[in-house]
Amino acid sequence: MVSALDRWRTVLPAGRVRTAPAELARAATATFGWPRRITAILAPDAPEQVREILRIAQATRHPVYPYSRGCNWGLGSRLPAADDCALLDLSGMNRILHHDAELGTLTVEPGVHFAQAAAYLKAQRSPFYCSVTGGPAYGSLIGNALERGGGDGPLGDRAAHMAALEVMLAGGEVIHTGFDRYAQAGTARLSRTGVGPSLTELMAQSSFGVVTRATIWLAQRPATWRLVIATVASTATLGPALDAVRQLVQSQVLYPNAVTLWNSYKMRARDGHFPWEQAPRLPLDIGATEGAEPWYVSVTVEGATERIVEALMAEVQRLLEPCSLALDVLRDSELTPAERAPLEPGNPTGANVFSAYWRKKGALPALEDLDPDRDRCGVIWLCPSLPLLGATAAPVLAEIERRVRQHGLEPNIGLNPTSPRLLDVYVALMVDLALPGEDERAMACHHAVMKWLISQGHLPYRLGVQSFGLLPPPVDDSAAVMVRLKRAFDPLDVVSPGRYAA
Ligand SMILES: Cc1cc2nc3c(=O)[nH]c(=O)nc-3n(C[C@H](O)[C@H](O)[C@H](O)COP(=O)(O)OP(=O)(O)OC[C@H]3O[C@@H](n4cnc5c(N)ncnc54)[C@H](O)[C@@H]3O)c2cc1C
């Protein structure tokens, strides 16, 4: 019988079915140890090839695991949820297909990355920018949005601002979501839902198909902006600041993603240098060594005119000042171009990736060469969501910090309100994988803290290969319905088996 690998070789250009052991070993390397057998790497460069790959996958029952750029660091990188998958590396499909410079859309293939999109929009002198994450500049617009990643600006809920997906299903069927399924639909790129049940949302955090094209909505560049940094004394006093943030979002002075809250450990990790001289015994205790362990609330205030921004600023100051030790304001008009550039919305510097090197000793790679998988950086993300209520969230954050410290790790925590109701929390567990036992310690911490959070009703909004198995069983019939949905899209379970619910 002809194997899947042999059949894939007949539909892909030469050299695009890769099975060299060294290459497979590299692809199976993540920022935590997670043994996984991978059969091959398939690297198509056109949608029609993806369709053929999927037909063969179903005919031979050989599962595939698609990724767009594979930078899902801290959540499994390129690792499938099951053994014996062929990786479907879509990074070679990297064309920007369309830009609407009046309505603010960008239609792309999965390999298009944040730096590429930003350079393209700049070259086009577009009045729009693409929301970028605090993660890798070479991450995928589509891959990140499909994971419901978080970015900057008013369209920072990236999955909520993606439309007109082209999705290839196991067996080779093709669907287009929203109005894009109708010939010459004038609003295909402009509506997520179209008319009737919407398939767009079903493709995020799922295993139903392979997305080969999507339209990403863009935000208009603000005419003027301020960056406000409020310093809050400690986790114990964070509650009032969270309530002030909620009021600012509820009253629409700020859009939800305009606010980011980082604790001292997250702020410190950004430069990638653990202060070894201050921490003879791990973990580093910033409160003990420096006498204080503040949180930093970063707020972007933007608008069409100076008068609008000044009015919004007055409200931001009125609500944040009483709960802050200090309030620093940066005005775009007072910054030099060099100071302004890294702060401009839609500029993917990738500089936060230095934080993955926090516990590594020795020289850091250059910014454009950061690769936490290759450099054995230990990173595991833990992503619970909480109600945006100070009295509820602050004690949970204090308890996460306590439990992470118990495992000998620094509690590196960031927060983003994603609506006037909801707070997304991201905890980074960082170690040096080159040191014996550290990987196991970080994973034990991840599992213990996540189980505690779930026991308290604080469920995660994003999972990685390390956490798909930790969700509790649902209390209703949804698990069976999910299985039926999965079968409708992928009857033989050959696309990303085991990922998220299905
Ligand atoms: C220091 C640091 C900071 C970070 N900051 C952020 C942040 O601010 N916001 C954030 O969201 N993330 C952040 N991350 C996490 C992660 O690095 C990013 O989300 C990154 O964009 C994900 O990698 P990617 O874009 O290459 O997606 P991929 O790895 O390509 O995709 C992620 C997953 O989505 C699925 N998928 C991808 N493409 C397809 C497709 N075409 N069809 C079907 N399924 C697909 C696959 O299961 C894949 O594994 C951070 C990571 C680090 C280490």
Using the 3D structure, point to which of 455, 471, 491 is the last residue of a domain: 455
Q: Write the residue with the smallest CA distance to atom 51 of ligand 1.
A: 135
CATH of the domain at 114: 3.30.465.10
Tell me: do 274 and 381 sit in the same domain: yes
- Distance from C-alpha of 22 to C-alpha of 32, rounded to nearest angstrom: 18
Q: Write the residue with the smallest CA distance to atom 48 of ligand 1.
A: 67
Q: Write the residue with the smallest CA distance to atom 50 of ligand 1.
A: 135
Which atom of ligand 1 is closest in space to residue 113's alpha carbon? 25
Residue 36 lies in a domain: no
Q: Write the residue with the smallest CA distance to atom 1 of ligand 1.
A: 353
Cβ(108) – ligand 1 distance below 6 Å:
no
Tell me: do 117 and 240 sit in the same domain: no
User: What is the whole-number distance in angstroms between the Cα of residue 446 and the centre of ligand 1?
Assistant: 19
Cβ(80) – ligand 1 distance below 6 Å:
no
- Distance from C-alpha of 352 to C-alpha of 367, rounded to nearest angstrom: 10
- Distance from C-alpha of 286 to C-alpha of 410, rounded to nearest angstrom: 9
User: What is the whole-number distance in angstroms between the Cα of residue 230 and the centre of ligand 1?
Assistant: 29
Residue 62 lies in a domain: no
Residue 342 φ then ψ, to 5°: -70, -15
Tell me: do 235 and 149 sit in the same domain: no
Residue 86 lies in a domain: no
Tell me: do 342 and 265 sit in the same domain: yes
Tell me: do 374 and 260 sit in the same domain: yes
Tell me: do 248 and 380 sit in the same domain: yes
Q: Which of 29, 45, 72, 199 to mutate to test the pocket of ligand 1 (most atoms within 8 A of CB)?
A: 72
Cβ(131) – ligand 1 distance below 6 Å:
no
Tell me: do 190 and 299 sit in the same domain: no
Using the 3D structure, point to which of 415, 436, 455 is the last residue of a domain: 455
The per-residue pLDDT for range 37-75, each reduced to its tens digit, is 999 999 999 999 999 999 999 999 999 999 999 999 999
Q: Write the residue with the smallest CA distance to atom 6 of ligand 1.
A: 135
Tell me: do 215 and 254 sit in the same domain: no
Tell me: do 204 and 239 sit in the same domain: no
Using the 3D structure, point to which of 169, 199, 220 is the last residue of a domain: 220
CATH of the domain at 418: 3.40.462.10
Residue 331 lies in a domain: yes
Inter-helix orientation angle 238-250/306-320, to 10°: 150
H-type helices in 361-477, by residue range?
390-406, 438-455
- Distance from C-alpha of 18 to C-alpha of 15, rounded to nearest angstrom: 7
Longest CA pairwise span in the chain (Å): 73
Tell me: do 431 and 445 sit in the same domain: yes
Residue 475 lies in a domain: no
Q: How many domains does the chain have?
A: 2
Cα dihedral sign for 348, 349, 353, 355?
negative
What are the strands, taking DSSP E only, across 112-209?
128-129, 162-168, 174-176
Cβ(148) – ligand 1 distance below 6 Å:
no
Cβ(348) – ligand 1 distance below 6 Å:
no
Residue 496 lies in a domain: no
User: Residue 263, Cα to own-chain centre: how many angstroms?
Assistant: 19
Residue 168 lies in a domain: yes
Tell me: do 128 and 213 sit in the same domain: yes
**pTM, full prediction:** 0.97
- Assign residue 76 a region (left: φ > 0; alpha: ψ between -120 and 50; beta: otherwise): left
Identify any residues that bridge with 297 across adjacent strands, giving them in sequence order. Answer: 230, 261
Tell me: do 167 and 239 sit in the same domain: no
User: What is the whole-number distance in angstroms between the Cα of residue 356 and the centre of ligand 1?
Assistant: 15
Residue 35 lies in a domain: no
- Three-state DSSP string of 98-147: EEECCCCEEEECCCCEHHHHHHHHHHCCCCEECCCCCCCCCCEHHHHHHC
Residue by residue, pLDDT tens for the chain (502 residues) are 679 999 999 999 999 999 999 999 999 999 999 999 999 999 999 999 999 999 999 999 999 999 999 999 999 999 999 999 999 999 999 999 999 999 999 999 999 999 999 999 999 999 999 999 999 999 999 999 999 999 999 999 999 999 999 999 999 999 999 999 999 999 999 999 999 999 999 999 999 999 999 999 999 999 999 999 999 999 999 999 999 999 999 999 999 999 999 999 999 999 989 999 887 789 999 999 999 999 999 999 999 999 999 999 999 999 999 999 999 999 999 999 999 988 999 999 999 999 999 999 999 999 999 999 999 999 999 999 999 999 999 999 999 999 999 999 999 999 999 999 999 999 999 999 999 999 999 999 999 999 999 999 999 999 999 999 999 999 999 999 999 999 999 999 999 999 996 5
* Segments forming the whole domain that contains residue 405: 224-361+370-455
